[in-house]
Structures are given as structure tokens and as C-alpha cells.
Structure 1
Amino acid sequence: MRQVILYKDEDGYWIVECPSLKGCVSQGKTKEEALVNIKEAISGYVVALEEDGLPVPEDKFEAFLVLV
């Protein structure tokens, strides 16, 4: 299980990032499509790390809202 950040960009696409896996980003025209795509991206990322004998980072992400 991984935490992700989901937000809409200026072109109307949904961007989704997995902060615990550096550079693991995907997108979709809808929230649902973006979430399906990030699941595939996370799976591929983890498989690539394992195949290369590299450690899989733990999910240590915390989210906070900051009032400015």
C-alpha cells in the first residue's frame, strides 16, 4: 500500500504522484484513470527495483495542510 497525491493540472488532467517512490508520477483524464495508472506505475517501479537488487523504500509520507 502506498500513499499518493492527486491534483488537477492547468490542462484539466489529473496528476498523481507517489512521494515515497521518487519520480513515480502518472496522469489521467479522470481521477479514476489517474489512480489506475499510478497503480501500474507503482507496480512497475517496485518490480524494477527488485530486479536490480535495490531496496524498496518504505512509505514514510505524511501530509499536512498549511494555512497561509
Structure 2
Amino acid sequence: MLYAVIIEKAGDNFSAYVPDLPGCIATGGTTADVTIAIREAIRFHIEGLQADGLEVPEPVAVAKYIEGDE
């Protein structure tokens, strides 16, 4: 499954979160680092949900760039 991931600059590093998986977050020193970390966090989060017998949310969030001056 493909989940939308939001990556933001956070001080001296980057943070990422997955809107469809509340609580699934990661940080890293670069966007490449945080991309690797959030991929691992997604796997771990899904494994935890499955281990607890909970439903894994389907990906429904969509991220788009939209011009603000129109």
C-alpha cells in the first residue's frame, strides 16, 4: 500500500508523519534520512496494528501542491 507522507523542516532536522496512520512519525537529519525512517516507521506501525488484531487503515489521504495566488 502507498501512504501519503508529509515531510516538514523542523529546526535543524526534518520530521515526517502519515495522515492515515495516526501516531506514525519519524525524524531525520536530511530528507533522505527521514524518508528511510518513515518507511521503517510505517512497517513497524502496521505490524503493531496487526499484532494487536486491529484493522490497518487503507490509504486515503492525498498530498498536492496548490498555488496560493489564484
TM-score, normalised via structure 1 length: 0.87
Question: 4+ runs of 1 displaced by more than 2 Å?
Answer: 62-68
Identity %: 31
RMSD: 1.4
Higher relative contact order (CA 8 A, sep 6+): 2
Please report how far the alpha carbon of residue 67 of structure 1 lies from its aligned counterpart in structure 2 after TM superposition. Answer: 2.8
CA contact (8 A) 2:14 2:28 kept: yes
Aligned to 2:24: 24
Residues 1-68 of structure 1 correspond to what in structure 2 (within 5 A)?
1-9=2-10, 11-64=11-64, 65=66, 67=68
- Which residue identity lines up with residue 44 of structure 2 in the other structure? G
Please report how far the alpha carbon of residue 31 of structure 1 lies from its aligned counterpart in structure 2 after TM superposition. Answer: 0.5
C-alpha distance in 2 between matches for 1:66 and 1:57: 30
Structure 1 residue runs without a partner (length 5+): none
CA contact (8 A) 2:4 2:63 kept: no
Deviations 1:5-31 (A, max 9, x none): 01101x221111111000111010010
Count of matched residue pairs: 67
TM-score, normalised via structure 2 length: 0.85
